[in-house]
Amino acid sequence: MDFGSLINNLFWLFLVFAFLSPYFQRQALEAARTRQILSLERKRGSRVITLIHRQEAINLLGIPVARYNDVDDSEEVLRAIRLTDPGMPIDLVLHTPGGLVLAAEQIALALLKHPAKVTVFVPHYAMSGGTLIALAADEIIMDENAVLGPVDPQIGEYPAASLLALVQSKPLDKIEDATLIRADMAAKAIKQVAELAEKLLAKHMDPERAATTARLLSQGTWTHDYPITVEEARGLGLPASTSMPREVYALMSLYPQTQIRRPSVQYIPLPYTKGGQE
């Protein structure tokens, strides 16, 4: 084989590697996640479902060449619940900034109907629709620094509660028709979310407290990104604790953030003790 043929063969081998490398990276990551999920299921005797909203990059030689959003959407979560025996507990690992109320409502109601214990794990945050889903759980296990958030609906780019406050503070003839329509939608959205939250909360608190907590969470008491800590969640009557299994953290480490640029946070990824590294 002459030198030119060798270079040509190496070139085609490189192209094949470039095309197949993202696929093999994805398969390896999926296999690692499956092993970690099975480990947690064996430990807890449960069905583990992940709902993790995080975009990732598959890299070739450190350069992002493909991106995918590995998210269990509401359809897949509902299917996983249907495939679970009524007597088997469900553990949902939840990491999400929120999303469509419809999707969150479907998941929350399906979890509410599941006869066995439902546990939601929040290793970092479950905001908005994520909190709505968490309200359906028998137990919410949070990292000590994890947060939930208000479930007040948003109408486009505006908080529903703020639209209602606007129409109540100005004469109607000074408000555009489009704004009045949004305010009407806002009133309906708040009522619908409050009723759903109350229904979910009634699972583990008396009706009066469920109604009060539902109003606090749904009617614009705080800004939409207000962080509800585990202590505040307990104060609201939610069944929150901090007994997070190490397997959940290990699972989350398999959902890395996209790193197109140089990472701004760096550390030695090992547990440290007072006596030194483990």
The rounded distance, in Å, linking the Cα atoms of 108 and 147 is: 18
Tens digits of pLDDT across the chain (278 residues)? 566 676 766 666 666 665 655 666 677 778 888 999 999 999 999 999 999 887 555 454 444 444 333 344 788 999 999 999 999 999 999 999 888 788 899 999 999 999 999 999 999 999 999 999 999 999 999 999 999 999 999 998 899 999 999 999 989 888 999 999 999 999 999 999 999 999 999 988 999 999 999 999 999 999 999 999 999 999 999 999 999 999 999 999 888 766 555 566 666 767 777 665 55
C-beta neighbour count of 71 within 10 angstroms:
15
The rounded distance, in Å, linking the Cα atoms of 225 and 220 is: 11
Q: Which residue has the tokens 């760096």?
A: 266
The predicted structure's pLDDT at residue 79: 93
The predicted structure's pLDDT at residue 66: 40
Tell the burial category of 206 from Cβ atoms under 10 Å away from its Cβ (0-12, 13-18, 19+). Answer: exposed
The rounded distance, in Å, linking the Cα atoms of 246 and 266 is: 21
Question: What structural domains does the chain harbor?
Answer: 21-149+227-257 (3.90.226), 152-224 (no CATH)
Q: Which residue has the tokens 């509410």?
A: 112
The rounded distance, in Å, linking the Cα atoms of 173 and 168 is: 12
